[in-house]
Amino acid sequence: MFQIINGSADKEDVVLDFSAVEVLSPSFADELLSQLNEKYGMDKVKIVNAKSAAVSETLEAIKLVKANAS
């Protein structure tokens, strides 16, 4: 995580691969996405393989909360 956060914002997209993740807590997801958004912008952050219902629902809830906060 620290290696990604300290990387260059001018490089490739940041890919979050959730293929082996079964559960994702809202607090962790919010902190992770907030830090990546601040450093890179969400246009450079790509989420792939969020197939677990728990993971996809958590990510969707975080997006909805952030959208309603703006």
**What per-residue confidence (pLDDT) applies to 24?**
94
Res. 67: pLDDT tops 90 = no
**What per-residue confidence (pLDDT) applies to 14?**
85
Neighbours of 50 (CB within 10 A): 19
pLDDT band of 8, cuts 50, 70, 90? low
pLDDT band of 2, cuts 50, 70, 90? very low
pTM: 0.75
Q: What is the DSSP letter of 41?
A: -
Hey, is 51 helix, strand or coil? coil
Res. 56: pLDDT tops 50 = yes
